[in-house]
Amino acid sequence: MIEALKEAFPMALGLALSPFPVIAVIIILMTPRAKSNASGFVLGWYSGIYAIGCLIYLIPGLESKQGDPTTLSGVVRILAGLILLIFAIRLGLQRPINDQVTTPRIFEKMDTLDFWKSFALGPLFSVVNVKNMAFSAAGATKLNMSLSDHTEFFISLAFFALTASLILIFPVVVYILMGNRIEHRFLTWKKWLIKNNKVLLMLILTFISVILIRAGIAILIH
């Protein structure tokens, strides 16, 4: 199980380092219902990743009877890597020339959310977002190929989703410990993340896409 989680770690890292969910949590923590809404959002994010993993588990043909990766699993990795690489190239072409920080529209009404709306917003970032869905699918595929026991897969998937959620959990814990005293720091983090989100995403996507494509090619030529 540990080895499977190590192999799936790059995908969990790609999810964890995604700037938009972190921005969302930080903004939610500056609203009146900060603790409950932020907790709901993180749970929704986690549930979305876990749900994608469960769907991947139901797809037949990702491993042979001996547990070895099949041609299909190699193709899945290459396709996932190419999708992420395309997104990285698009982000590189869309980088703004000026330094003006504009808050994306999706973040503008987060002060009106309650717990359940925040929970429903979580999967929007982890499932509806194609990039994050590709990370989740690639990580779950790796776990599925590495583990033959059903129970081990679902336990490993839970740890995978938790790893992908740690950076979202961090500001929530900081807020619980420090309260409103940390709000000025959150504002600084939010502005920096919004300003640099395209560069961060481009670097993350390029790194993970190379890992996936190389792994897929290795399976196909094995």
pLDDT tens per residue across span 5-39: 888 888 888 888 888 888 888 888 888 788 889 99
pLDDT band at 48; cut points 50, 70, 90: very high
Helix, strand, coil percentages, rounded to 5, for the chain: 80, 0, 20
| Predicted pLDDT at 65 | 42
pLDDT band at 126; cut points 50, 70, 90: confident
Domain ranges of the chain: 2-221
Burial label, 215 (beta-carbon count in 10 A; 0-12, 13-18, 19+): buried
Phi and psi torsions of 79, nearest 5°: -65, -45
Q: Residue 156 pLDDT more than 50? A: yes
Provide the sign of the torsion angle of the four alpha carbons 198, 13, 24, 161, taken in this order.
positive
More confident call, 60 vs 2: 2
Mean pLDDT of 210-222: 80
pLDDT band at 165; cut points 50, 70, 90: very high
Q: Residue 136 pLDDT more than 50? A: yes
CA–CA separation, 68 and 148 (whole Å):
10
90-112 pLDDT tens trace: 877 766 555 555 566 666 677 77
- Which of 119, 1, 141, 148 minimizes the C-alpha distance to 75? 141
Q: Are 84 and 134 in contact (CB under 8 A)?
A: yes
pTM equals 0.74
